[in-house]
């Protein structure tokens, strides 16, 4: 097998038209679980306590406190289960399958009750979606295709590994690599250390403007990956600066397939271009590095104090494929 063939095996095809129905179900499920994390954990700046994290098998809340002990919720897209464990030794699971959002929400509450975790009393209206049907009222059957869910999870994992390596090349304040269940994307941000002007941009559907003011209270350069939407029916990587420095749209970035999107005010790189690259890891790394340098240089960031004196070495290319692919 050639290096390109190994790369294509590790970076699975993601066709939005095939993914969209499964993604809708998973999006709403992650909102249920993410809201549980939001209300049970201490508030962190920029709402970092609300996000999920990538695992080798899917997504996790990490540890959340209860009245006595702690619990964790994991999406396992290998066995296709939602697994809940507690510090008292309890374990229960829900099979991920075609079902309504209302059924999923009810089953999650039932599992928590069986494990002795009190109802977290979340806001049951989804965020950042126009059609915000409350979870208990969303009774339409949602398709769930195991293969499509697994492909999405593998793409998240490969992206997470590259983003984590990129994150190591910065000694200033930086976010974790985190999955935001509202916008349904994997993202990470670097901060200059300076406060930003008051946020004056748009607000996503069903989101209070205070959320945006807090998220963009300090200068940042962010990058992420999302699987697409009805308006943008392709998975892609994005990068932007907030506030955007003058001339950012004219900056030279890499790789060749990347471009500036004026309507969205950010750089874009199609996932398929990454997947077809001889070295997908390097293609994503080039995109992250070149867009960061463009924003930092034009924005007047003090890079000498924000970056390590010796850049982190890139580990050797992995010769293996993700299990199950």
Q: Over the stretch 4-28, which tens digit does the pLDDT of each residue have?
A: 455 557 899 999 999 999 999 999 9
Do 178 and 276 have their domain in common?
Answer: yes
Do 133 and 161 have their domain in common?
Answer: no
Q: Is 230 exposed, middle or buried (0-12, 13-18, 19+ CB in 10 A)?
A: exposed
Residue 142 lies in a domain: no
Do 34 and 122 have their domain in common?
Answer: yes
pLDDT at 311: 65
Bridge partners of 86, per DSSP, are: 71
Q: Comparing C-alpha atoms, which of 324, 267, 315 is closest to residue 294? A: 267
pLDDT at 316: 52
Do 64 and 114 have their domain in common?
Answer: yes
pLDDT at 96: 98
Do 166 and 279 have their domain in common?
Answer: yes
Residue 314 lies in a domain: no
Do 70 and 29 have their domain in common?
Answer: yes
Do 68 and 115 have their domain in common?
Answer: yes
Q: Comparing C-alpha atoms, which of 196, 221, 192 is closest to residue 292? A: 221
Domain boundary among 137, 168, 196: 137
Do 207 and 236 have their domain in common?
Answer: yes
pLDDT at 312: 64
Residue 252 lies in a domain: yes
Residue 251 lies in a domain: yes
User: DSSP of 187-212, one letter per residue?
Assistant: EEEEEEEEEPPPP-S---TT--HHHH
Do 299 and 231 have their domain in common?
Answer: yes
Q: Quote the number of domains for the chain.
A: 2
| Cα distance between residue 296 and residue 288, in whole Å | 12
Residue 312 lies in a domain: no
pLDDT at 7: 53
Task: Convert 164-173 to b/e letters by CB count within 10 Å (16 or more is b).
Answer: ebbbebbeee
Residue 40 lies in a domain: yes
pLDDT at 319: 45
Do 186 and 63 have their domain in common?
Answer: no
The tens-digit pLDDT sequence of the chain (325 residues) is 555 455 557 899 999 999 999 999 999 999 999 999 999 999 988 889 999 999 999 999 999 999 889 999 999 999 999 999 999 999 999 999 999 999 999 999 999 999 999 999 999 999 999 889 999 999 999 999 999 999 999 999 999 999 999 999 999 999 999 999 999 999 999 999 999 999 888 888 888 888 888 888 999 999 999 999 999 999 999 999 999 999 999 999 999 999 999 999 999 999 999 999 999 999 999 999 999 999 999 999 999 999 997 766 655 555 444 434 3
Do 242 and 176 have their domain in common?
Answer: yes
Residue 319 lies in a domain: no
In which domain, by residue range, is 29 found? 3-137
pLDDT at 201: 83
| pTM, to two decimals | 0.92
Residue 152 lies in a domain: no
Do 169 and 301 have their domain in common?
Answer: yes
pLDDT at 252: 96
pLDDT at 9: 72
């Amino acid at each position: 097998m050639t290096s390109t063939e190994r790369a294509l095996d590790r970076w699975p095809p993601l066709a939005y038209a095939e993914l969209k129905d499964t993604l809708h179900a998973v999006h709403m499920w992650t909102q249920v679980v993410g809201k549980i994390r939001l209300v049970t954990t201490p508030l962190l700046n920029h709402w970092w306590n609300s996000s999920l994290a990538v695992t080798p098998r899917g997504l996790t809340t990490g540890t959340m406190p209860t009245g006595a002990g702690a619990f964790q919720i994991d999406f396992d897209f290998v066995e296709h289960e939602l697994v809940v464990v507690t510090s008292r030794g309890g374990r229960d699971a829900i099979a991920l399958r075609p079902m309504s959002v209302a059924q999923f929400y009810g089953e999650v509450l039932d599992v928590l009750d069986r494990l002795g975790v009190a109802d977290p009393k979340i806001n049951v209206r989804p965020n950042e979606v126009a059609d915000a049907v409350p979870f208990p009222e969303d009774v339409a059957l949602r398709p769930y295709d195991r293969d499509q869910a697994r492909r999405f999870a593998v793409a998240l994992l490969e992206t997470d590994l590259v983003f984590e390596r990129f994150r190591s090349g910065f000694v200033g304040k930086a976010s974790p690599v985190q999955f935001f269940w509202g916008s349904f994307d994997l993202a990470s941000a670097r901060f200059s250390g300076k406060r930003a002007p008051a946020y004056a941009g748009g607000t996503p559907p069903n989101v209070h403007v205070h959320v945006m003011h807090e998220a963009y209270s300090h200068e940042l350069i962010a990058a992420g990956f999302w699987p697409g939407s009805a308006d943008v029916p392709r998975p892609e990587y994005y990068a932007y600066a907030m506030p955007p420095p003058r001339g950012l749209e004219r900056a030279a970035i890499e790789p060749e397939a990347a471009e500036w999107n004026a309507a969205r005010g950010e750089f874009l790189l199609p996932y398929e271009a990454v997947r077809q690259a001889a070295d997908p890891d390097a293609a994503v790394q080039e995109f992250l590095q070149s867009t960061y340098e463009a924003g930092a240089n034009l924005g007047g960031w003090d890079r000498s104090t924000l970056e390590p004196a010796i850049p982190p070495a890139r580990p050797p290319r992995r010769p293996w494929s993700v299990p199950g692919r």
